[in-house]
Amino acid sequence: MNAIALLGTGTMGTALGRRLLATGHRLTVWNRTAARTAPLVEAGARAAADPAEAVRDADVVITMLTDATAVQEVLFGVDGALEALRTGAHLVEMSTIGPSAVRELAARLPSGVPLVDAPVAGSAGAAQEGRLVVLAGGTEAAVDRVAPVLENLGTLRRCGGPGTGAAMKLVLNTALVTAVAAVADALAVADAVGVDRRTACDALATGPLRGAVARASATDAAFAVALAAKDARLALDALGDVPAPVLSATAAMLTAVPRPDADLATLTDAPSRDATTPDEERP
């Protein structure tokens, strides 16, 4: 049994915490909005007043936060975790922040605190049931040390050295967001030519987009458009000057969604006629 500190109890963080408690780990939790730790406290976790308190006695520290800025603040800000991380503790960075941010983070950690970047593929429901795919990057020794914890969450995929887990997550999320955008385009064509959306989805689900159709119709997933847009920008930044027209168009599409807190499946919603310019007013 490990003593684990979980920094970040949003939707996915809470799901991870429930799974860790269910598999017998001692869990201390912290979140910037303290009220969001309540479900895990009720399930048996201990809430900490700040990140430093949360990690003080931890063997493994997990961060599951919105973006690289949040990770930096929680680890290195006032009452940040860094001041209390003990030698021998392992930091597992499970947010989606990209390989460059992971390398910057690793450079700022004390030599006695190994880092494993381990973002996940899968929904919150999959996390609670131990069905995630955990994309781990780090030295072999560091991944070996935290493997018993990560394997409780699902299938552990060793991607290589430090930063490779974060890199693989960008690859997978690029495939996901562009595929869901492709479903949205296909359904727009279905609307235009008079094909019923359900009939179109049934047909699309038998072809190469079947996985994307399943994700677009999922009701147990929570991948906010704002987070998908952030991940698309990370992938575009990693590409530099290499053209990626499909990803670029998808990133623009995500940025234009009116409700950035809605799930990614919102991309496939039928456009509201009220939200468009009437034909007679178009140039």
- Please count the other Cβ atoms lying within 10 Å of the Cβ belonging to residue 258: 9
- Report the alpha-carbon distance of residue 64 to residue 13 in Å, rounded: 6
Dihedral sign, Cα of residue 115, residue 116, residue 120, residue 125: negative
Bridge partner residues of 136 (DSSP): 158
Q: For residues 34 and 9, is the Cβ–Cβ distance under 8 A? A: no
Burial class (CB in 10 A: 0-12, 13-18, 19+), 119: buried
Of 95, 120, 130, 148, the residue nearest 22 (C-alpha): 130
Q: Which residues of 151-170 are buried (b: 16+ CB within 10 A; e: fewer)?
A: ebbbebbebeebbbbbbbbb
230 is catalytic: no
Q: Which residues of 75-100 are buried (b: 16+ CB within 10 A; e: fewer)?
A: beeeebbbebbeeebbbbbbbbbbbe
Pick the catalytic residue from 90, 169, 215, 230. Answer: 169
- Report the alpha-carbon distance of residue 222 to residue 226 in Å, rounded: 11
Of 54, 103, 49, 96, the residue nearest 75 (C-alpha): 54
- Report the alpha-carbon distance of residue 219 to residue 222 in Å, rounded: 8
- Please give the distance of CA 186 from its chain centroid, rounded to a whole number: 26
Q: Which residues are catalytic?
A: 169
